[in-house]
Structure 1
Amino acid sequence: MTQSKSTHFGKVTIVGVGLIGASLGLALKRAGVVDAVYGVGRSKANLDQAIAMGAIDAVISLEDAAKQSQVIVLCVPVAQMRATFTVLEPLLEPHTLMTDAGSTKGDVILAAKKVLGKKACQFVPAHPIAGGAQHGAAAAKADLFDGKQTIICQLQENAKVDVELMTQFWESTGARVRKIGAVQHDAIFAAVSHLPHVLSYALMVSVLNSEDAQEKLQHAGAGFRDFTRIAASSPEMWRDICLANRTAILKELDQYLSVAGHLRELIAKEDAAGLEKAFAKASKARQEWDGSK
């Protein structure tokens, strides 16, 4: 759907004003589709930074957010969603819509339905596929979502008009919206997002556990830097994602370990042809994928 210039979202509250939340505030203001953007968070220093950079206009409580907002966006770690819904539920006005930026959807939707009950229809789950190695408001930028996908995993309870409105909301940030089911979402992102983060953290830990860790890091080049870039991401957020989507992640991790074990065997046997064949398959697929984007 193309963003309508007349679409306006009134007062928006962002709960969790980190990289995603603060970037969302900047993007909404750039688009001119809000009256005000409020922030809810735990860190005064981070909230002060968000105000100073213009990502939010003021800090309010979660309780006031429920009473004052036309749209509430939950950008907290997925393990905090249930507690956030619990505070919002008794105070939520009928006209208020909620969406989120969580990287897992099955657990968040389950929490929403259990806690919100009949008000679950006011929650339109989403996942913007955007981010960066750094976290916190200081790393935010208005163009973070430009040209990036945002996935909407709508509920059966959602009214069509509300899904369309939240589609326009995310499109106003510059994102391209796609709609898929929650189960498919969690399976896909276990492979292409969650597993890479686990592997990046693992490589950093592996090097740090070496007796000559500092020597290795001093000599590490671009390849190591690129591979481990996402290991600088929020540990709290990725802890929660791994536990929330553990079944799908374990499946992908087991498959990866099987492939890694096969490569180890080829190296141990000095099987040059086998290694080249495996690497060529991966290289060709990577180049084709890169060229298609």
Structure 2
Amino acid sequence: MDESQVKNTPLLSKVTIIGVGLIGGSFAKGLKEAGLADTVFGFGHNESTLKKAVELGVVDAYSTNMEEAVKDSDLIMLSVPLSVMKSVLQQMKPYLKKSAIITDAGSAKCSVIDAVQSVFGCVPTHFVPGHPIAGKEKSGVEAADASLFVAHRVILTPSDDTDVNAISQVTHLWQALGANVESMSAEHHDDIFAATSHLPHLLAFSLVDMLNEHEELGNVFPYTAGGFRDFTRIASSDATMWRDISIENSTAIVKWLKAYQTAITELTTLVEKQDAEALKALFLGAKQARDKHIK
């Protein structure tokens, strides 16, 4: 982490993490190790997980009581599944101090903003939507890593009405954890990640499901090699999380599923026609694009 960034980040008295898993836990641990808050407080329903978070140095203290967790908190990080975002907001609303900054780590920003608006009647000026683009194969508080966000992007999607000081505070915290912070509209965010993240996950799930105990082929998995394993690795991702993402970002995901259907139809035609020149041009163009942009 950049020492100058840490020194320039205002010290917070209390930060509350709602959902102390991989992302929330890594955010909490990073804040603690950088000395960015006097107290990093965890909230959840599984007390054994919260005890483990204290033992691992991820949080300083915890509670399963929402009032105790968010009372007098300067900043609340929501790191919970999209499907429970609204209920969590409803639970904490009565106990927030007026100046409290709220941010989140959800991967479908329009959905989160809609939940906030539904609960508060408007989008509070101190709400700064965010999405850290980082992760691990492992999940849970045991996998929490203070360096998880180093050199990774964090996307913020504030509105024109979002308080500039709240944006600055959240930006500084992420930068102090080593992240590269960018801003864009929630709609653009959801469109980009529907195409680059949500679509590939759904394709991987669908391919494995299609071939699982196939009527014609039987069990094909003993015969898979590197290509299949690389392509379908993300089909081992959490099913509940991807159910939620599919529902909460459905409009953008359907748009890109249909675009991919069109591309598959065109590819099928090229293969049926055995159009060697067109196939090579497609494959070469894709290879060059990936080699250029993804290292």
Report the TM-score when normalising by structure 2.
Answer: 0.91
Tell me the amino acid that sits aligned with residue 131 of structure 2: H
Which residue is 2:7 aligned to? 5
Q: Distance in 1 between matches of 2:247 and 2:237?
A: 16
Task: Show the 5 A alignment for 1:4-153.
Answer: 4-6=6-8, 7-60=10-63, 61-117=65-121, 120-153=124-157
Match of 1:251 among 248, 255, 269: 255
Deviation per CA, 1:224-279: give whole Å up to 9, x if none.
22222222222222111111111110000111111112222222232222221111
> C-alpha displacement at 1:215, in angstroms?
4.5
Q: Distance in 2 between matches of 1:289 and 1:24?
A: 28
Task: Show the 5 A alignment for 1:184-263.
Answer: 184-211=188-215, 215-263=219-267
Where structure 2 has 5 or more consecutive residues not aligned to the other structure, the ranges are none
Tell me the amino acid that sits aligned with residue 210 of structure 1: H
Which residue is 2:171 aligned to? 167
Q: Decide whether the 8 Å contact of 1:124 with 1:154 is kept in 2.
A: yes
1:290 and 2:289 matched: no
Tell me the amino acid that sits aligned with residue 220 of structure 1: T
Where structure 1 has 5 or more consecutive residues not aligned to the other structure, the ranges are none
Q: Using the TM superposition, name which of 157-166 and 42-51 deviates more.
A: 42-51
Q: Decide whether the 8 Å contact of 1:63 with 1:88 is kept in 2.
A: yes
**Superposed CA RMSD:** 2.1
Report the TM-score when normalising by structure 1.
Answer: 0.91
Structure 1 residues 45 and 212: CA distance shift in structure 2, 3 A: farther
Q: Distance in 1 between matches of 2:21 and 2:218?
A: 31
> C-alpha displacement at 1:164, in angstroms?
0.6
Deviation per CA, 1:164-202: give whole Å up to 9, x if none.
111111112211111111111111111111111111211
Structure 1 residues 44 and 207: CA distance shift in structure 2, 3 A: farther
Q: Decide whether the 8 Å contact of 1:65 with 1:72 is kept in 2.
A: no
Q: Distance in 2 between matches of 1:214 and 1:35?
A: 58
Q: Distance in 2 between matches of 1:214 and 1:51?
A: 48
Q: Decide whether the 8 Å contact of 1:132 with 1:233 is kept in 2.
A: no
Structure 1 residues 153 and 270: CA distance shift in structure 2, 3 A: same
Identical counterparts, % of pairs = 40
What secondary structure, in the 3-state scheme, does the structure 2 residue paired with 1:68 have?
A: coil
Tell me the amino acid that sits aligned with residue 50 of structure 2: L
What secondary structure, in the 3-state scheme, does the structure 2 residue paired with 1:127 have?
A: strand
Tell me the amino acid that sits aligned with residue 105 of structure 2: A
Structure 1 residues 36 and 219: CA distance shift in structure 2, 3 A: farther
Q: Decide whether the 8 Å contact of 1:13 with 1:73 is kept in 2.
A: yes
